Amino acid sequence: MQGKHDYVLSQISDRPWSEVDPGIVDVARMGVHQIHELRVPDHAAVAATVEVARKRLGESKASFVNALLRSVTRKEYSEWFVQLELVKDNVSRFSILYSHPEWIVSVYFDLLKDWEAVENELRTNNIPALPTLVSWPGYSTQQELIDLGAEPTLYSELGARIKGNPGNLDLVRHRLAGVQDEGSQLVATVFASAAAGTNWLDLCAGPGGKAALLSSVAKSRNINFTANEFSQPRADLVKKVVHGARVWCGDGREILNRGEFFDAILIDAPCTGLGALRRRPEVRWRRTLNDLRNLTLLQRELIEAAITTLNDEGVLGYATCSPHLAETSVQVLDILKRHPELEHVDVAPYLPANLQDAQRGKSMSLWTHKHGTDAMFLALFRKKSSVTD
């Protein structure tokens, strides 16, 4: 709600809000959030926030915070947004109403081409997701989750949604099932449906959700599975959930140095995370266009490394938890341009029958407002055989 709070406070402040001391900004936002989101009584919210300001910022700045918050309480929250109805620019208006930076609003419109859909996506980003469970083949079933009171997921045959703390469930505590968004489940299961061969790799495995599911599928098919993760702490987390499968800790861009080749490789690439803002709302304010440039370069380097270790007829899966064109469709076009030995595999045959509307070209593209999942993207490629008749 940062954007909405800033809009209100900017109308009250006697100086440009962008020039106000960051400490004051942070504390004032906390106060507005208590008043209008947490419904703390006005006097209690103001008093508590001013006391924090006094201890952290000093008496003078605390007085400014006090003046700001007392002004906020003089109107109903909705009254502060009346003037927004006169703003004809949807990017600016939606940015304030739904607390998203303008560049993210523009990104969504570039993809969805429909302002109603954009508004729905922004709105759902502000609604926390219910915990989603995943059954791991060979260790648990969806029916076992349902028997515990969970509701089956709409698309994934392995998932179920549950209210409450999943950590209280024996299946989760004993690592027979996990907690994983349905979109991530679909990335793993669609990839596994397309993959073949006897040696699979998850190149960017941390913190382990997709690796856990893929390792259980691989084990049920007598397939060797390896999870690679750059960060040692995250690699340690992966080890706990991959059912004894091999885990490497190393830079995925240097995977060729391992001297091993694979029949199927999933790259769940580091990305801006714009498809999972309901889980990590702070990301929308931390990410910048400079981050996007750096991440797309890293994605390309990981893709290049993976292709060098992919066997002929092998399947490459490229996934992100971002719908941004630069991280999805543009990367797909770049892969096909740089690597004529790869063919773009249509995901349609591998999608659930009720998920055919999740196609972007030959790739899978999920949306939170449409599918109730994180906005995941998956493209599949197959390496053509180098042997000619």
Q: Where are the alpha helices (DSSP H) in 319-378?
A: 329-338, 368-371
User: What is d(CA 139, CA 374) in angstroms, rounded to the nearest whole number?
Assistant: 25
Question: Which tokens go with 285?
Answer: 């304010």
Residue 25's SS3 state is helix
- Phi and psi dihedrals of 11, rounded to 5? -75, -20
Q: Contact at 8 Å (CB) between 181 and 132?
A: yes
Per the CB < 8 A criterion, the answer to whether 333 and 212 are in contact is: no
262/42 Cα distance (integer angstroms): 61
Three-state SS for 106?
A: helix
- For 312, the enclosing helix (H) or strand (E) is strand 310-320
The amino acid present at 326, given as its one-letter code, is A
Q: Are 183 and 247 in contact (CB under 8 A)?
A: no
Helix or strand (DSSP H, E) at 374 = none
Q: What is the four-CA torsion angle of 32, 37, 42, 47, rounded to 10 degrees?
A: -50
Which residue of the set 204, 249, 271, 321 is catalytic?
321
| Polymer length of the chain | 389
Give the integer Cα–Cα distance in Å for 342 and 336. 7
Alpha helices (runs of H) in the chain, residue ranges in sequence order: 2-12, 22-36, 42-57, 59-72, 90-97, 102-112, 115-125, 142-147, 170-173, 182-194, 209-220, 232-239, 283-286, 289-308, 329-338, 368-371
Contact call for residues 12 and 4 (beta carbons, < 8 A) = no
Residue 271 appears among annotated catalytic residues: no
Cα 238 to Cα 208: distance, rounded to the nearest angstrom:
5
Contact indicator for 192, 112 with CB cutoff of 8 Å: no
Residues annotated as catalytic are 321
